[in-house]
Amino acid sequence: MILGVFKLTSCGGCQYSILDLGKSLLEQKIFYFTEISSSNLWHTFDVAFVEGSVTNDDEKELLLKIRQKAKFLVALGACAVSGGIQAIQRSKKDKGLIFYSYPLSDFVSVDLELRGCPVKSEHIEETLFSLSVGSVPYFPDYPLCIECKRKGNPCLMITHKILCLGVITQGGCGALCPSLNRGCYGCFGPVKGANLKAFFRCALRMGLTEEKIREIIMNSFNGYHQIFRELYDK
Amino acid sequence: MTNKIDFLTRVSGLANLEIIAEDNLLKEVRFSVRETPRLIEKLLLGRSYKVIPEITARICGICPVAYQLTALQAIEDAFGIKPTKEDLSLRKLIYLAEWIYSHTLHLFFVHLPDYYKVNSFLELFQIERELLEKAFFLRETACRIIEKLGGRAIHPLSLIPGGFSSYPDSLSPLIDPLRNSLKIAEELFTKLCSMTFPEFSLSEVQFVSLLDEDDYPILDGIIYDGKRKIDKRSFRDYFLEVERPYSTANHSLTKEGKPYVVGPMARFEHAFEKLSPRAKELATKHGIIPPVDNPFLSPLIRMLEIVHSVELALEIAKGYIKPKKVPQELKPSEGEGIGITEAPRGILWHHYKFDSQGLITHVNIVTPTSQNLASIELALFKSLSKEKGLEEASIRNRAETMIRNFDPCLPCATHFLEISIKKLD
Ligand code: SF4
Ligand code: SF4
């Protein structure tokens, strides 16, 4: 397959996960990936991976161009899916500072979102494999709690009174944080149908203020995800 | 005449190069970073100390552990807590793994194609398959170490103030891969020594690194500029940041206004004697000993640091016994803290002030890449002055190779507090 890998505003962590594919990378035709190659060609891409969020007009234009050239466009990681950690500064517009950071889906149609800050390299592998055999890649669409329970972890919220975003976060990482004895901070972003009201009730009962809970969600690296926007747009 | 190379390739992040010449005489070289600032420092203001390690890690996807560990040192400094010896040794292990990861990525997947005159490591695979397979193995080993300790290879999850949130039962699965890696790293060093590198001298810049009494510097130490020893609290008195209107990254200079170099070459210069036994032996055997002021030899020094890191990591993994305690929640208090460590690319400095709730009231981060930018421009200027024509085709390769000698990381360089240079809309 002909691949393109593109970077907008981001830390670079997600695109380098592509190197985890190791030697199987050689089976792909990588036409565009400026961080590892000096030869970059605009071509029709079977798959375009886009890392990073849109923070200015140049990036918006680049994204539109990629969309035109890509048969299948993948948003790679939390920056591309939700706008990333840099997106939460919109609430701090002061001194005439204009800064915005949007997910790709605010400008173009995205064929697949790979969640996580960073993405899981197995998910990139699964994507390429599925597409190469003509099927649609499938990723967990249930909350992290399910993975956590499958691992047999006791619930951190109940047993240790540690706040964990697992219940509103999309599974996929394998419940890494609770397995390491800390609460999930939400880097895979909100799960579809997340019950934010119930989550707020739980967290309030643990002694947090509403403002604090909102801040924790903003710090989740997915704070500006479509599902969370209602929390501070009002 | 201005000759502009848009879109430098094979560097981490986005940058341009502007070459300003008059009558074919080189006037100025501008290495301008185009990476959009993400204002990470600014967004930390008013937030809790707890989020610093996770959020600053997102400044860089290649060296997140460096940010986490430097931030933790600063937090621990502010609130007066001391990690145990076991925790420090595990932190060193995960940091060494990041050195291996970062150096391998840069050296073999980004830099080496230059020396074979190919466009990428993918093309290099056709020529040097075995060599790249070995490099993949080193990268893989480094990833496994970080995963074992931190859950995942990029932005690991277990590093918290006071120590780790959880400890692996055993590190024995790492021992065989590390043994193999040591063998491989030594072979690769020998192989690289057989290559020829261009001659060049950058003797006018100062090397600045940390010094650690017992170790090759990594987790902490005192700053050394070749003449003076400087405490981490006085960093700002000796090193200044200046804005460059053409770049979204600051440059650093010594207080005397001179460019300086941090990173592998500086560490090698100041701490050669403290390299691991195998690394030192190999270096001596091949005559790679200080002083080395030729940036084109930096691949050899990076490789040497890989040998060193693998050997040390193996030792730590072998001696590992799962620690008992898991650190407790700390009590924030008003105060300030400073962290300084040796990231793969050199000195990383964090400074925070907190109010009585532990909320951040001041933040300043100085990264290795921003410290090296002025030296990169100087090296480019010196190297391009020797070129006959200043046309893009002829200089692109030479300029890019010179830049890669310093392994700049542009997302790291571009993180500052305010955008006062370029308006984004
Ligand atoms: S999603 Fe996270 S890891 Fe990926 S580029 Fe953005 S900040 Fe980096
Ligand atoms: S548990 Fe949550 S924060 Fe941790 S890696 Fe998984 S999704 Fe990310």
In a domain, B407, yes or no: no
Ligand 1 pocket test, candidate residues A51, A114, A124, most atoms within 8 A of CB: A51
Q: Distance (Å, rounded) from C-alpha A78 to C-alpha B65?
A: 19
Q: Which atom of ligand 2 is nearest to the CA of A166?
A: 2
Q: Distance (Å, rounded) from C-alpha B89 to C-alpha B352?
A: 25
Tell me, in angstroms, the distance from the centre of ligand 2 to residue B201's CA. Answer: 47
Q: Using the beta-carbon criterion (under 8 Å), do A11 and B58 form an inter-chain contact? A: yes
What kind and span of H or E run contains B339?
strand B335-343
Q: Distance (Å, rounded) from C-alpha B291 to C-alpha B356?
A: 48
In a domain, B93, yes or no: yes
Closest by CA position to B33, among listed B186, B214, B249: B249
Q: What per-residue confidence (pLDDT) applies to B16?
A: 82
Q: pLDDT-based confidence at A88, cuts 50/70/90?
A: confident
Q: Distance (Å, rounded) from C-alpha A87 to C-alpha A70?
A: 25
Q: Using the beta-carbon criterion (under 8 Å), do A9 and B154 form an inter-chain contact? A: no
* Chain A: closest CA distance from residue B261 (Å): 23
* Domain of residue B145, residue span: 84-200+294-329
In a domain, B316, yes or no: yes
Chain B residues with CB-CB distance to A59 below 8 A: 36
Cβ–ligand 1 distance for A11 under 6 Å, the answer yes
| Total tally of structural domains belonging to chain B | 1
Residue in chain B closest to A30 (alpha carbons) equals: B122
Closest by CA position to B91, among listed B297, B334, B393, B313: B313
* Minimum-distance CB partner of B152 among A14, A15, A176: A176
Tell me, in angstroms, the distance from the centre of ligand 2 to residue B72's CA. Answer: 20
Q: What per-residue confidence (pLDDT) applies to B424?
A: 32
Distant-in-sequence, close-in-space partners of A2: CB < 8 Å, separation ≥ 6: A28, A29, A31, A43, A44, A45, A46, A47
CA dihedral B57, B407, B351, A184 (to 10 degrees): 0
**Residue B29 forms beta bridges with which residues?**
B19
Cβ–ligand 1 distance for A78 under 6 Å, the answer yes
Q: What per-residue confidence (pLDDT) applies to B244?
A: 81
pLDDT tens digits along A108-125:
999 999 999 999 999 999
Whether omega for the bond prior to residue B291 falls within 30 degrees of 0, making it cis, is yes
Residue in chain B closest to A83 (alpha carbons) equals: B38
ipTM of this complex: 0.95
Q: Mean pLDDT across the stretch A179-196? A: 96
Residue-by-residue DSSP string for B375-392 = HHHHHHHHHHHT-S---H
Ligand 2 pocket test, candidate residues A82, A149, A184, most atoms within 8 A of CB: A184
In a domain, B388, yes or no: no
Closest by CA position to B43, among listed A15, A225, A176, A224: A224
Decide if A180 contacts A152 (C-beta within 8 A): no
Q: What per-residue confidence (pLDDT) applies to A92?
A: 45
Is residue A62 packed enough to be buried (19+ CB in 10 Å), middle (13-18) or exposed (0-12)? Answer: middle
Q: Is the pLDDT of residue A94 over 50?
A: no
Strands (E) located in chain A: 2-7, 29-33, 47-51, 73-76, 112-114
* Minimum-distance CB partner of A180 among B39, B166, B409: B166
Q: Helical H runs in A151-192?
A: 156-159, 176-179
Q: Distance (Å, rounded) from C-alpha A113 to C-alpha B343?
A: 32
Q: Distance (Å, rounded) from C-alpha A125 to C-alpha A104?
A: 21
Q: Is the pLDDT of residue A204 over 70?
A: yes
CATH number at residue B116: 1.10.645.10
Residue-by-residue DSSP string for B86-115 = HHHHHHHHHHHHHHHHHHHIIIIIIIHHHH
Tell me, in angstroms, the distance from the centre of ligand 1 to residue A119's CA. Answer: 8
pTM over 0.80: yes
Chain B residues with CB-CB distance to A35 below 8 A: 9-13, 110
Q: What per-residue confidence (pLDDT) applies to B327?
A: 63
In a domain, B125, yes or no: yes
Tell me, in angstroms, the distance from the centre of ligand 1 to residue A79's CA. Answer: 6
Strands (E) located in B344-404: 346-354, 360-366
Cβ–ligand 1 distance for B38 under 6 Å, the answer no
Query: Counting ligands in written order, which one lies closest to the CA of residue A221?
Result: 1
Q: Using the beta-carbon criterion (under 8 Å), do B62 and A12 form an inter-chain contact? A: yes
Instruction: Count CB atoms within 10 A of the CB of residue B27.
Output: 12
* Minimum-distance CB partner of A36 among B110, B165, B425: B110
**φ/ψ of residue A45, rounded to 5:** -95, 130
In a domain, B25, yes or no: no
Tell me, in angstroms, the distance from the centre of ligand 1 to residue B46's CA. Answer: 23
Q: What per-residue confidence (pLDDT) applies to B36?
A: 77
In a domain, B420, yes or no: no
Q: Distance (Å, rounded) from C-alpha B80 to C-alpha B95?
A: 22
Q: What single letter denotes the amino acid at residue A139?
A: F
Is residue A83 packed enough to be buried (19+ CB in 10 Å), middle (13-18) or exposed (0-12)? Answer: buried
Decide if B421 contacts B245 (C-beta within 8 A): yes
In a domain, B310, yes or no: yes
Q: Which atom of ligand 1 is nearest to the CA of A14?
A: 4
Cβ pairs A/B, distance under 8 A: 152
Q: What per-residue confidence (pLDDT) applies to B339?
A: 98
Q: What per-residue confidence (pLDDT) applies to B419?
A: 39
Q: What per-residue confidence (pLDDT) applies to B328?
A: 67
Q: Mean pLDDT across the stretch A17-24? A: 86
> Could you write out the three-class secondary structure of B194-206?
CCCCCCCCCCCCE
Tokens of B97: 């793994």
Cβ–ligand 1 distance for A14 under 6 Å, the answer yes
Query: Counting ligands in written order, which one lies closest to the CA of residue A167?
Result: 2
Tokens of A27: 């089976």
Q: Mean pLDDT across the stretch A77-81? A: 98
Q: Is the pLDDT of residue A55 over 60?
A: yes
Q: Can you give the pLDDT of all 425 residues of chain B as single tens digits?
A: 666 666 677 777 778 888 887 777 788 888 888 777 778 888 899 999 999 999 999 999 999 999 999 999 999 999 999 999 999 999 999 999 999 999 999 999 999 999 999 999 999 999 999 999 999 999 999 999 999 999 999 999 999 999 999 999 999 999 999 999 999 999 999 999 999 999 999 999 999 999 999 999 999 999 999 999 999 999 999 999 888 877 777 888 999 999 999 999 999 999 999 999 999 999 999 999 999 999 999 999 999 999 999 999 999 999 999 998 766 678 899 999 999 999 999 999 999 999 999 999 999 999 999 999 999 999 999 988 877 666 666 677 788 889 999 998 887 777 554 433 333 33
Instruction: Count CB atoms within 10 A of the CB of residue B117.
Output: 8
Q: What single letter denotes the amino acid at residue A67?
A: R
